[in-house]
């Protein structure tokens, strides 16, 4: 059970960009669930398949009986819901027992993108060297920002998932719920991918049968953790003080697209969101930017 929780917390940090305090709170919340399960809990991850809605309902009732504030109960339930959603996505459980689980509503925090200038500084830092690893890293970052991919989608790509036709370049990825989508990519991302495939990947791959698009120095598929460590190093070298995770580039892609005038429905399709309400969180960020520009430009706003 601890192994599954550790994997989930790593996912929150790397893919979702949660803060240290939030991750610590989720860890405490899930350990509290394990404590509630008591003798029913077993050390292996298969135990999570035995947790059903009835058991989780009793857990929520036990929280309310301990006089936790509604916001605290809501966070603890949110942690459990997110955890089981992760277990389903990773194939550790077949059905999600939290799917119809009622919980108090809490506010949703806005994502924090980096600026266009910071993205350009980051990409320029990666392009400073022409070593095979640098060509790979530039291709990954260009693709992540060009297509708004999740990091799990990025590292899961195989060589046959990218089409490098001039003017029609795109990437095919498998998102949440096994939903496939095809996302177009711009010329700069296309050029970076071509350079990596021609001059970088052949020097990293040791097995001609390797299908992974992005590989590490051992010639094996790069992991989410491996990519995140690379990104942190480049961000630090580029002098970016904002906290940056792989998910930050996805947030930045969505926000910059909306600020550039892209329709919300279009951005929803590019991100692979099942519901447009998930995408609408970015409209607030775009509106904030418009307000800032208005205050700068309007003569009566000064």
How is the chain split into domains, by residue range? 2-89, 116-292
Which residue is catalytic, options 176, 221, 232, 289? 176
Q: How many helices (H) and strands (E) does the chain have?
A: 14, 3
pLDDT for the residue numbered 180: 84
Residue 239: left if φ>0, alpha if ψ -120 to 50, beta else—which one? Answer: left
Give the Cα separation of 47 and 110 in Å (integer): 34
Per-residue pLDDT for the chain (302 aa), expressed as one digit of tens each?
A: 688 899 999 988 888 878 888 899 999 999 999 998 875 544 454 678 888 888 888 888 788 778 777 778 888 888 898 899 889 888 888 888 888 776 655 555 556 788 999 999 999 999 888 899 999 999 999 999 988 898 889 999 999 999 888 778 889 988 776 778 888 888 899 999 999 999 999 999 989 899 999 999 999 999 988 998 899 999 999 999 888 888 888 888 888 888 888 877 787 778 777 666 666 666 665 555 545 554 555 344 44
Which residue is catalytic, options 75, 76, 250, 259? 250
Q: Are 32 and 76 in contact (CB under 8 A)?
A: yes
213 is written with which tokens?
């698009």
Among the four given CATH numbers 3.20.20.70, 3.50.50.60, 3.90.550.10, 1.10.443.10, the one describing domain 116-292: 1.10.443.10
Going from the C-alpha of 146 to that of each of 17, 122, 251, the distances in angstroms are 19, 14, 12
Give the Cα separation of 274 and 276 in Å (integer): 7
Instruction: List the CATH code of the domain at 2-89.
Output: 1.10.150.130
- For residue 247, indicate whether it is catalytic: yes
Which residue is catalytic, options 138, 247, 251, 259? 247
- For residue 273, indicate whether it is catalytic: yes
Dihedral sign for Cα atoms in the order 196, 199, 202, 205: negative
Which residue is catalytic, options 26, 59, 145, 282? 282
- For residue 176, indicate whether it is catalytic: yes
């Amino acid at each position: 059970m601890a192994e599954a929780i550790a994997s989930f917390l790593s996912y929150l940090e790397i893919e979702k960009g949660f803060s240290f305090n939030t991750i610590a709170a989720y860890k405490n919340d899930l350990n509290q669930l394990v404590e509630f399960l008591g003798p029913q809990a077993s050390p292996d991850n298969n135990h999570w398949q035995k947790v059903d809605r009835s058991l989780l309902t009793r857990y929520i009732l036990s929280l309310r009986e301990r006089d936790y504030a509604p916001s605290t109960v809501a966070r603890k339930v949110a942690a459990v819901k997110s955890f089981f959603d992760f277990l389903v996505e990773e194939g550790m459980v077949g059905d999600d027992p939290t799917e119809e689980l009622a919980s108090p509503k809490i506010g949703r925090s806005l994502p924090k993108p980096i600026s266009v200038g910071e993205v350009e500084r980051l990409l320029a830092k990666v392009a400073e060297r022409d070593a095979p690893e640098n060509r790979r890293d530039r291709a990954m970052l260009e693709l992540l920002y060009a297509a708004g991919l999740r990091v799990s989608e990025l590292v899961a790509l195989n060589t046959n998932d990218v089409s490098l036709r001039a003017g029609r370049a795109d990437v095919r990825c498998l998102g949440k719920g096994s939903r496939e989508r095809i996302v177009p990519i711009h010329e700069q991302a296309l050029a970076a991918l071509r350079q990596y495939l021609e001059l970088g990947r052949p020097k990293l791959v040791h097995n001609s049968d390797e299908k992974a698009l992005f590989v590490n120095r051992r010639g094996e598929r790069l992991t989410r953790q491996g990519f995140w460590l690379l990104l942190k190093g480049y961000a630090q070298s580029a002098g970016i003080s904002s906290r940056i995770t792989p998910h930050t580039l996805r947030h930045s892609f969505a926000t910059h697209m909306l600020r550039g005038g892209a329709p919300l429905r279009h951005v929803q399709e590019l991100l692979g969101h099942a519901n447009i309400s998930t995408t609408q969180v970015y409209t607030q960020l775009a509106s904030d930017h418009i307000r800032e520009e208005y205050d700068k430009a309007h003569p009566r706003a000064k």
